[in-house]
Structure 1
C-alpha cells in the first residue's frame, strides 16, 4: 500500500491577485510513494463575506450580564470540480481510483463572476475572503484538505471624472471662556481631488485664521471607517492611519498650507459591500488649548487604478499587503504573497494570518496644483461631510 507524500496548489504564472471576470487557473500537484488508493480528488473555489461581533447586555441586578453575538454571512461564489472519481465515498457502489508512484499534475479552471463580488478584506470584526480548497477523499481514513487564499480586487479607477473633483470645506468657531469672549478661528481647506491610491499623497491647500487669543496648531489626519452589518444592527470601527501637523499660529495671525502632502499608506481600497463598508476621510483640525478642537472633514475615495498625470505617463506600482489588517500591522512586503495551510479540520476556520494585496504606487510625484483649478461646486458633498463629521466626534 502506497503513501501520500505531498499535495500542493499552484496558480498559473504564480498569480496572487485577480479581478472580477478573471480565470483562476492552476494545478494540483500530488506526490505519492507507491500506489495510493483514493475515492475522489475535488477542488473548490469559494468567496464569502463574514462579520461577527459581540455586545454585553445587562439583564438586571440579580441576573447580571450576558453576551449577545451578531453574525452574518454572504457567499459570492462557490463552485466545485472533480478531478478524480465522481461518486460519493459513502455509497456502496463507489468506484475507487489509484494514484501511481511519483508526481501527478491535475489542472483546474474557474471563472470569477463579473458582478456581485467585493474586494478582499481582513478586519477585526469581519472579512471578505476568496480561496481554493483541495480535498482528497481516501477510503477508510481522514480526508486530506488543503487551502490557498488569494486576493480579489474590484477595480476603482480614480481617473474617472467623478474622482478628479476637489473636495472643499470650511468651518469656524468663537472661543468662549465664562465672560471672556475672543474672536473666531476658522479653516478653509480643499484637496486636489477626491480619489487616490495607496502610495499617493493628498495635496491639502488650506487657509487658517486665528482671531482668538490663544496659540493654535493645525493638523491633518487620515481616518478609515469600518462598518459591519448584521441582524439589522451595525458596528462602526474608526482608525486613525496617519497624521501631519503644521507650525503654531499665534493670535491675530493667518497661516496657509500650499499643497501640503498627506501620504496614504498601504490600505484597503474603499469597499461598499452589504456586510462590510470601508470608507475614508481626511480631518483637518485646529488644536485649541483649553477648548474643543475645530475640525473640517473631507471624504475621499481610495481606489485601485493609480492617477495618471497624462495618458502617456508611466505608472510605477505593485501589489502590497495592507499595513492594517485587523490587529496586525504590516509595513514590510512579505517574501511570499500567498498563504498555504494544511488543515486537519475544516478549512473554513476564522483564524488566519492572511493579508490581502492592494495596489501601491511607488515614487509618487504629485502634479503641479493651483488654486485656480478648484471647482467651486461642492454642494453635492455637504451632506456626506456632515455625516462623517458626526462620526469623527464620536
Structure 2
C-alpha cells in the first residue's frame, strides 16, 4: 500500500441563502459536508467536527501607578451559546493499540455528512465590534497516527429574528424640547423642537419618515439636522465600555431669527447595518434617531428617539395600522374632514309645541277607546317629546317621608303638584 497525503480538507454547508451565505436562526437544522481530498491511501484515526457559538468581549486599559510605572488591566467575558461535538470517522479505541481499527481513505475525494440543530433559545445575532464579537463556526479535525492533525474552520451566520410587526415596535415615537440662549445679561428668545416618527421598528433598507417642527426665536441662525446612531456596549468583569457610530444623517435648511421650519415626512434611509442585539448579557447593539438643532457657538438642542433594527420587515396590514396611528390627526386619506362636525343640538331635533299637542290629542282619543293602552301610550309620548332636564347635583324634588304611626304621610309642600 502506497501511503498518500491529505491534499485538502474543507467544509460545505447545504442550505445557503440567496447571497450564497449560510444563515440560520435558533432551532434551525444546520447540515453540510466535510470533504477530504487525499493522494494515495491515507490511514485515519478519526474525523471529528465541533460546532460552537460564543459571544466574547475583550479590551485592555492602561493605568499609571506612579511616575515611572504603569500596568495594563485586561477585561474579558465570554458567553457560550452552542457546543456540539460529533465523530464522523472512528470511535473509541484502545490506547495500547493505536494501529487497531484505522480507516483507510483511498485516493480521491471523500464526503462525510454532518447535521445538528441550533438550540431552541434566544441566540445572539452574529456581530463584529471593536471590543467584542458574536461568532458561530464548525471546526473539523482529521487525526492520523504519528502525524499532526489537519484542521479546518468555517463560520456561519445566525440571526436572532426581531419582528417589527409587534405593538411595541409599531408605536409612534416623539417628543418636544425647548432651549433659551443667553450670554451674560443678554437673553434671546427660545428655540423649540418637536419631532415624531411613525414607529419604533425598522429594517435595513427602509427610510424613516421624520415629522418635525422647529421654531427659532433666538438671535442666531440655526440649522435643523437628524442622524441615526449605533451604540455598541460591551460588558466584562462588572464594567462597561461604549462606542457610538454614525450610521446615517441628513440636514435641513438654515433657519434665521423669527422663522420656523416643518419636516412633513423627511426621509432618512437606513443602510445595511447589524440588527439590534438586546438580550445578550455581554454585548448590546442599540440604535437611536437624534433630531437636533445645530446652534453655532452654543450647545445643540437635541431630541433622541429610540429605534430598533429588526429582521422581519413590515407586513402590509401592519403598515396600514401604523399609518393610521401616525396620521390620527389627518384623516384626509379616508376622505373625511380633518375636524368632525359637531353633533346636532336638541333644539334642532325637538318638535314644535303644536305638533306635540296634536300627538297628545291623538293619545287622548286612544285613551277613550282603550283606557289601559291609551294612558300608557300618552305617558310614553309625552315623555318622548319633553325637553331633557337640566343637570344639577341637587335633587330639585326631594321627597321627605314622615312616619306617623302605621301611616306614611308625605309633606305636600315638598312634593310638586301634578
- Please say whether Structure 1 and Structure 2 have the same fold, judged by a TM-score greater than 0.5: yes
Please name the residue that 1:92 is paired with: 96
User: Paired residues, what number?
Assistant: 320
Cα pair distance change 1:50/1:373, threshold 3 Å: farther
Q: TM-score scaled by structure 2?
A: 0.73
Q: Does 1:4 align with 2:9?
A: no
- Give the deviation of 1:372 after TM superposition: 2.4
- For structure 2, list consecutive stretches of 5 or more residues without a partner in the other structure: 331-418
8 A Cα contact 1:17 1:150, kept in partner: yes
Deviations 1:249-305 (A, max 9, x none): 111111100111111111111102000000000111111111111110001101000
User: Which one has a bigger Cα radius of gyration?
Assistant: 2
- Give the deviation of 1:201 after TM superposition: 1.1
Q: Does 1:372 align with 2:378?
A: no
Cα pair distance change 1:14/1:269, threshold 3 Å: closer
Deviations 1:13-50 (A, max 9, x none): 43510010000011111121111011100011100010
Please name the residue that 2:302 is paired with: 295
Please name the residue that 2:401 is paired with: none
Instruction: For 1:10 and 1:177, locate their aligned partners in 2 and report how far apart those are by CA, in whole Å.
Output: 67
**Worse-matched range after superposition: 303-312 or 97-106:** 303-312
Partner residue of 1:310 out of 317, 323, 327: 317
Instruction: For 2:318 and 2:184, locate their aligned partners in 1 and report how far apart those are by CA, in whole Å.
Output: 59
- Give the deviation of 1:309 after TM superposition: 2.8
Instruction: For 1:254 and 1:42, locate their aligned partners in 2 and report how far apart those are by CA, in whole Å.
Output: 68
Q: Does 1:194 align with 2:150?
A: no
Where in structure 2 are the equivalents of 1:64-83 lying within 5 Å? 64-83=69-88
Deviations 1:105-152 (A, max 9, x none): 110001000104211110010000000111001111111110110100
- Give the deviation of 1:162 after TM superposition: 1.1
8 A Cα contact 2:126 2:133, kept in partner: yes
Cα pair distance change 1:298/1:370, threshold 3 Å: closer
Deviations 1:297-344 (A, max 9, x none): 00110100011233799xxxxxxxxxxxxxxxxxxxxxxxxxxxxxxx
Instruction: For 1:312 and 1:230, locate their aligned partners in 2 and report how far apart those are by CA, in whole Å.
Output: 40
Q: Does 1:278 align with 2:285?
A: yes
Tell me the C-alpha RMSD between the 2 structures. Answer: 2.0
Instruction: For 1:371 and 1:195, locate their aligned partners in 2 and report how far apart those are by CA, in whole Å.
Output: 17
**The structure with more helix, counted as a fraction of residues:** 2
Instruction: For 1:79 and 1:181, locate their aligned partners in 2 and report how far apart those are by CA, in whole Å.
Output: 67
Deviations 1:30-76 (A, max 9, x none): 121111011100011100010001111121224x2211110011111
Please state whether the residue corresponding to 1:310 is helix, strand or coil: helix
**Relative contact order (alpha carbons < 8 A, sep ≥ 6): 1 or 2 greater?**
1
- For structure 1, list consecutive stretches of 5 or more residues without a partner in the other structure: 314-365, 375-394
Instruction: For 1:198 and 1:139, locate their aligned partners in 2 and report how far apart those are by CA, in whole Å.
Output: 51
Instruction: For 1:176 and 1:88, locate their aligned partners in 2 and report how far apart those are by CA, in whole Å.
Output: 83
Q: Does 1:159 align with 2:165?
A: yes
8 A Cα contact 1:40 1:87, kept in partner: no
8 A Cα contact 1:76 1:116, kept in partner: no
Instruction: For 2:318 and 2:247, locate their aligned partners in 1 and report how far apart those are by CA, in whole Å.
Output: 31
Partner residue of 2:264 out of 258, 270, 280: 258
Q: Does 1:225 align with 2:181?
A: no
8 A Cα contact 1:218 1:287, kept in partner: yes
- Give the deviation of 1:198 after TM superposition: 0.6
